[in-house]
Amino acid sequence: MKIVISCHGNVAKELIKSVEMIIGENDNLIPIAFLPGEGREDLLNKYKDSLKSEKNDVLFLTDIFGGSPFNAAFEYVYGNDSDVITGVSLPLLIDVIDLSDKLNSPKEVYKNLNIEYYIKHIEEK
């Protein structure tokens, strides 16, 4: 399963560098930067080029729900055995990598994530 991390700016590349410091290299991670002046078509072309037009067994992790990376990823995978998860973070990426080694599909990876784990706050007493 390929994991595409697509974010505004160079966040995706830096997330991959950080995760590799913790768990080592992974050939299934693909960073895609959405840069100033680019649009949806630019992202779709980057996705197609990076994935060699493969549309199944691809999991996209994007930064912002409704942002251009998310919208283009959703369009790219629509109707295929792939998925898009938004709100990418270092802990989420580590868990996705771990689950993708054990499970067969992007949808199964999503179903097995413990979503409550990624957002925490400290309550005042």
1 in Cβ contact with 106 (< 8 Å): yes
Which residues, in sequence order, are bridge partners of residue 59?
A: 3, 83
Closest CA to 25 of 37, 33, 12, 16: 16
Instruction: State which H helix or E strand residue 95 sits in.
Output: helix 90-102
Residue 121 annotated as catalytic: no
| Rounded distance between C-alpha atoms, residue 49 and residue 61, angstroms | 17
Check 7, 8, 10, 16 and give the catalytic one.
Answer: 8
- For the record, the structure tokens of 95 come out as 């868990």
Catalytic residues: 8
